[in-house]
Each structure stands twice: as C-alpha cells, then as structure tokens.
Amino acid sequence: METDLGTLATIGKAFADGGIWMWAILAVQVVSIAIIIERVVALYILRRPNQKNYAERFEQDIRRGEINAVISNAQRMRFINPVANVIEAGAVAARDMGGRDEIQAKMDEVLLAENAKLERRTGFLAMLGNVGTLLGLLGTIVGLIGSFGSVASVNPVEKAAMLTQGISMAMNTTAYGLIMAIPALVMFAVLQNRANRIAEDLNQGSLKIFNWLSFNYETVDKSKRASRSL
C-alpha cells in the first residue's frame, strides 16, 4: 500500500514538474489508447484472417446455380465475415444477369469499402506517436529556455533551485513523451500488419468467388431462365 502511494506521489510530482506539456501528452496518449482498443476489437475480434476458407463454403452452391442460397447465407454472416458482403454483391449481380463485368464491378466496389474499413484510424497512431515525442521535446526546450533565462536575474541562492526546476520539467516531459510514443508506434506496426493479412486473405477469397461466378455464369443463367419458364 505504501509502495502504491509512493508511486502515485512520484507520478503526481512528475506531472507537476512537467507543467502543461505533461497534460498535453496525456491527452494524446488517451486518444492513442482509445484508437488501439477500437482497432484491436475490429481486427482481432470482429475481423479474422479466415476469409478465404469461409469463401470456399459457397463453391458448391455457386456451381449448382443456387444463387439465392448463396445470397441468404452471405447475408447471415456479413457482420462477422467481410468477404460475405463481397459474395452477396457478386451473387446479386449474377442473379440479375448483369454479366461478368457487372459482377466484377459490384464485387470490386464492396471490396474497396471493406479494405478501407481495415485501414481506418490505424494511421493516426503513427502521427500521435510523433506528436507525443515532439510535445516532449517542446517541453524540454521550453523548460531549458525558462530555466537558463530566469537565472540571469536572480541571486546565486535561487539559481540552483530554478535550474533544478527547469531541468526537471525538461527531463519529465521528454521521458513521458517517449513513454507515450513507443507503445503507439509499436501498436501501429502490429495493427498495420494485421490489417494487411486480413486484406490479403479477403482479396484471395473474393477472387475465388469471382472466378466461380464467372465460370459458372452460364449455368446460373440457364437455371434462372428455366425457373422463369416454369
């Protein structure tokens, strides 16, 4: 308990010595943590690199021309598997006899939107990490300027105290800026790699669906015409 209180007292003193720059870095850190949490949920819980395997479940239905079954199955899973939205778009175009070009255009449109969701807000982490570092550096410079500028007009007894205060502000802001920036930059790399893996898997799964729809389009077309004639 005493150790915890001592730690809190040390942190409180560091913030007091660092001045307004410590609070500015804290604000940047809170934003970066919020982005990290949101992206971890989006990329590790709601999105997983199994889209190619999921797409393979639709092969037999597409080959049999059961497009309505493909659409209904994709609609049930579109909130968990982003490739399901792409599958639905392509299957709807095939059902409406839009042709190969329309199937590709519709799938590409949804695929671009899904890939954009994977990259959303991740890039801010690199920027926030740099901002945190620069705020720490700015606090350091301001502290040193204030420290050496003030000692010129005070008596020798006060010089040591003012120098200590200015240098303490400089060191605390530098340290906190780095403490904030390093996790943000590390998580930027981790999340970027995860997004790239999911995007690659999503693109491969979408290509599989497009090829199956394209190669079996005549079958799908004939099946629909036969059902209409009945």
Q: What are φ and ψ of residue 49, in 5° steps?
A: -80, 60
- pLDDT digits over 51-107, tens only? 888 888 888 888 888 888 888 888 888 777 888 899 999 888 888 877 788 888 889
Within 10 angstroms of residue 171's Cβ, the number of other Cβ atoms is: 17
Q: What per-residue confidence (pLDDT) applies to 151? A: 61
Q: What per-residue confidence (pLDDT) applies to 150? A: 62
Identify the three-state secondary structure at position 65: coil
Q: Which range has highest mean pLDDT (31-45, 62-76, 84-98, 161-175)?
A: 31-45
Long-range contacts of 217-225 (CB under 8 A, 24+ apart): 217/94, 217/99, 217/100, 217/103, 219/63, 219/65, 220/62, 220/65, 220/67, 220/94, 220/95, 221/97, 222/65, 223/65, 223/67, 224/65, 224/67, 224/95, 224/97
For residue 123, give Cα distances in angstroms to 44, 157, 172, 182.
17, 50, 27, 15
pTM (2 d.p.):
0.77
Q: What per-residue confidence (pLDDT) applies to 219? A: 47
The per-residue b/e assignment along 143-160, b for 16 or more CB within 10 angstroms, e otherwise, is: beebbeeebeeeeeeeee
Any idea where the domains of the chain sit in the sequence? 19-221
Whose structure tokens read 């020798």?
156
Angle in degrees, CA 47, 53, 57, rounded to 5: 115
Q: Taking 70 as the threshold, does the pLDDT of residue 14 lie above it?
A: no
Q: Mean pLDDT in the chain?
A: 81
Q: Taking 50 as the threshold, does the pLDDT of residue 127 lie above it?
A: yes
Q: What per-residue confidence (pLDDT) applies to 225? A: 46
Per cent of the chain over pLDDT 70 is 75
Angle in degrees, CA 107, 108, 110, rounded to 5: 65
Helical residues (DSSP H) of the chain, grouped into ranges? 2-18, 20-40, 51-55, 59-63, 67-77, 82-95, 100-119, 123-150, 156-215, 217-229
Within 10 angstroms of residue 38's Cβ, the number of other Cβ atoms is: 13
Range with lowest mean pLDDT among 91-100, 132-141, 183-192: 91-100
Q: What per-residue confidence (pLDDT) applies to 28? A: 94
